[in-house]
Structure 1
Amino acid sequence: MQIELIDTFLDLCETQSFNQTAERLGITQSTVSGRIKTLERIVGVRLFLRSRSGTALTTEGLRFEPHARSLRHDWVTALNAARDTAMTGVTIRIGLQHDLVGLEIKRLIGRLRDILPDTAFLFEADYSGQICADLVSGQQDIAVLYSPIIQPDLHFETLGEVHYVMVSSESDSLEEIDKQSYILANYSASFAHAHAALLPEFRHVSLSIGQNAAMVDLLTSLSGSAYVLAHSAQALVASGICQIVQDAPAISQPVFVGMNVRNRHRAAYRKLTRALHDQYGAETSAPRVRTKASHV
C-alpha cells in the first residue's frame, strides 16, 4: 500500500474538506479524490460520506482511522531505523521545547547516556504544535513541551514546571515600567493566559516575542522590560544589563513529556521519562533570583 494514501486519509479526517486537504498536501483536489477512492477499493469499504454540509467519516472509516495512524507511525519508524545505518545501536529522536534547550541540557544528555549507553540521541528544538505533529507522524519518539495537543495516539505526563520572571533595564518597580517599551512574552497559551490575568495593564503592546533566547537578545540590544526564564534573568542581572522587577509576579510554566501511547509502558521509555522527571521536576518552587544588591 502506498503511504500517500494513508497520509491523505488521515489529513482528510482532520480537515473534513477535500479542498483544504489538497491545499495542505500541495496536490489537486482530484488527486485527493483519486487517492481516497483507491484506498476505499483496497480496504473494500466506503470511508467517507460527502454532502453539502461537508465530509464525514463513515462507521467503517471511524474503525479504520486508529489503524491508519498505527500504519503511518510504523512506516516512519521503519524508515528511521533503515536510515540509522551510520549509527550503532538505536536512535531515539527527542523533541524539545525551544526555551528548554539552554536549561541544563548538558546534565540531561549525561543522564540519558548513563541510563541508555547503547542509544544515539537526536535532539530537535521546536514549538509545541510542531512537536505534537512530529510525535503523531513518528518523526519524533519522545518530547518535552509546554502545550500538549490531545490526540488519541499520544500520551502526556506532567514533569514539573519552569519559571519566568520580569526583568527591566529601566526600573525594579512595576509601577515605573514604561508600557511603551514593554515586550510581551508569548511562550505558550498557558503563559499568555496567566500573564493576562496577572498583568492586564500590559496586554496591549506593540512588540511580542515567543522565544526566550530571542527575548534575551532583544533586551541585550535594546532597553525595555519583559519576562524571561529565571536562569536568563540571573545572567542579565549579573551582566548589569537588567534588574529584577521586584513586585512583578513570577509566572510558572508547566512542562510535559509526550510520546506515542504504544510506547508509554516500554522499558526504555519509562527510563527516559524518569530521567526527564529528575531533570524538570526539581523546578517546582518559586525562583530566587539575586539582584545586584543581594548577598544571599
Structure 2
Amino acid sequence: MDITLARTFLAIAQARSFQRAAQQLHVTQTSVSARVRTLEEQLGKPLFVRNKSGAALTAAGEQFMPHARTLVQVWERARQQVSVPAGRRAVLALGCEISLWHPLLPRWLMWMRERAPELALRSAVGAPRDLLDQVANGVLDVAIAYAPQQRPGLRVELLIEEKLVMVSTNPQLRSPLAENYVNVDWGPEFEAQHGLAFPALSNAPLQVGLGPLGLEYVLTAGGTGYFRQDVVRSHLEAGRLHRVPDTPEFLYPAYAVYAAGAESPALGAALAGLRETAAGTWQATGSPADMGKKPRARASKN
C-alpha cells in the first residue's frame, strides 16, 4: 500500500474533515478525495461518511485505524534506521513543547551523549498537537508535552510535576500591579485558575505567548510574572528575581508521550534519560573533553 494513502486517511480521521486534512497535508481537497477513493477500492469498504459537520469514520474505518497507524509508524522507523549516520547503531527522534524545552532538553541531550553514545539523536521543538501527530505517525519516537490529549495508540507518562511561581524584580513587592505584570499564556488550565486568583491581571497590558520570552523581558525591563520554578531557580539564588510572598503556585506537569507497544533499546534509553534528568538525580560528569571517559552518576545537591 502507498504510505501516502495511510497518511491521508489518518489526517482526515484526526481533522474529521476532508478540507482541513487537505490544508494540513498541503494538497488540494480533490487530491485528498482521490486518495480516499483509491484506498477504499483497495480495501473494498467505505471508510468515511461525509456530513454537514465534516467526515466520520465508518465501522470499517474504525477497524482500519490501528493498522494505518502501524503502517505509517513502521515506515517512518524503517526510513530513519536506513539513514543512520556512520558509527551509530540507531536513530532516536525526540520532540519537546516550546515552553518545556529548557532546561530539560539540554540536560537530556547531555545524558544521552554520556549514556547512549551509540545513538544518533534528532531533536525538535514545536507545538503540542504537531508533536503528538508526529509521534502517532512514527516521525518522532517520543514527545515531551504539557497536558497532552489522550489518543488511541499513544502512551502518556508523567515525568515531573513542576510548579509555576510568581516572581518579580522588585524585592519589596507584596501585591502585583497590572501595569508591571507580564501575563504568560501557560495554557487554558493555568488561565482559568489564574483568572480566579487574579482577575485584575488577566487583562494586563503585556500578554506573552512564550515563557522564555516573558522571562527575558522581565529580567531586562523589570516586572512580575508567573514562570517555571526550575527555570527561575538560578535567578532567585542570584538575587535577580524574588518570590512574591503569599501568592498561589500552579502545577505545570511535563509528560512523555510515545507509541503504545513500542519497544526498542533506543526508546528505552531515551525514557530512562528523561526520567533521570527530570527527577534531578543526574548531572553531567564534566566538560566536553571528559565525555570520552567512563560516565558516573552523582546525586544532585539541590
User: 238-247 vs 55-64, which deviates more?
Assistant: 238-247
| C-alpha distance in structure 2 between counterparts of 1:227 and 1:196, whole Å | 13
| C-alpha distance in structure 2 between counterparts of 1:22 and 1:48, whole Å | 15
Determine the structure 2 residue equivalent to 1:41.
Answer: 41
The code of the aligned residue for 1:253 comes to: Y
Give the secondary structure class of the aligned counterpart of 2:148: coil
Determine the structure 1 residue equivalent to 2:188.
Answer: 189
Output the TM-score relative to the length of structure 2: 0.82
The alignment covers a number of residue pairs equal to 281
| C-alpha distance in structure 2 between counterparts of 1:234 and 1:15, whole Å | 40
- Percentage of identical aligned residues: 26
- 1:240 CA drift (Å): 5.0
| C-alpha distance in structure 1 between counterparts of 2:4 and 2:98, whole Å | 30
| C-alpha distance in structure 2 between counterparts of 1:127 and 1:24, whole Å | 14
Residues 129-278 of structure 1 mapped to structure 2, 5 A cutoff: 129-170=129-170, 172-175=172-175, 177-237=176-236, 241-263=240-262, 265-278=263-276
| C-alpha distance in structure 1 between counterparts of 2:129 and 2:204, whole Å | 25
| C-alpha distance in structure 2 between counterparts of 1:161 and 1:51, whole Å | 42
Give the secondary structure class of the aligned counterpart of 1:4: helix
- 1:90 CA drift (Å): 0.6
Determine the structure 1 residue equivalent to 2:84.
Answer: 84
| C-alpha distance in structure 2 between counterparts of 1:144 and 1:20, whole Å | 25
Determine the structure 2 residue equivalent to 1:116.
Answer: 116
Shift of the 247–163 alpha-carbon distance from structure 1 to 2, 3 Å rule, reads same
Shift of the 235–267 alpha-carbon distance from structure 1 to 2, 3 Å rule, reads closer
Q: Deviations over 1:224-274 (max 9, x none)?
A: 2111222443443455543321222232211211101121x5454344334
Determine the structure 1 residue equivalent to 2:296.
Answer: none
Shift of the 251–135 alpha-carbon distance from structure 1 to 2, 3 Å rule, reads same
Shift of the 257–88 alpha-carbon distance from structure 1 to 2, 3 Å rule, reads same
**Contact 1:236 1:242 (8 Å CA) reproduced:** yes
Query: What RMSD over aligned residues (CA atoms) do the two structures have, in Å?
Result: 2.6
Shift of the 272–55 alpha-carbon distance from structure 1 to 2, 3 Å rule, reads closer
Q: Deviations over 1:72-122 (max 9, x none)?
A: 111222222222244521111112233443326554334334543422222
Gaps of 5+ in 1: 284-296
Shift of the 159–240 alpha-carbon distance from structure 1 to 2, 3 Å rule, reads closer
| C-alpha distance in structure 2 between counterparts of 1:251 and 1:33, whole Å | 46
Determine the structure 1 residue equivalent to 2:6.
Answer: 6
The counterpart of 1:281, out of the listed 279, 282, 297, is 279
Gaps of 5+ in 2: 282-302
**Contact 1:97 1:145 (8 Å CA) reproduced:** yes
User: 40-49 vs 15-24, which deviates more?
Assistant: 15-24
Shift of the 249–28 alpha-carbon distance from structure 1 to 2, 3 Å rule, reads same
User: 41-50 vs 100-109, which deviates more?
Assistant: 100-109
Shift of the 113–171 alpha-carbon distance from structure 1 to 2, 3 Å rule, reads closer
Shift of the 55–231 alpha-carbon distance from structure 1 to 2, 3 Å rule, reads closer
Shift of the 114–169 alpha-carbon distance from structure 1 to 2, 3 Å rule, reads closer
Q: Deviations over 1:154-176 (max 9, x none)?
A: 1001122222221223454332x
**Contact 1:155 1:259 (8 Å CA) reproduced:** yes
**Contact 2:100 2:254 (8 Å CA) reproduced:** no
Q: Deviations over 1:99-152 (max 9, x none)?
A: 443326554334334543422222222232222122112121012221212111
| C-alpha distance in structure 1 between counterparts of 2:152 and 2:36, whole Å | 22
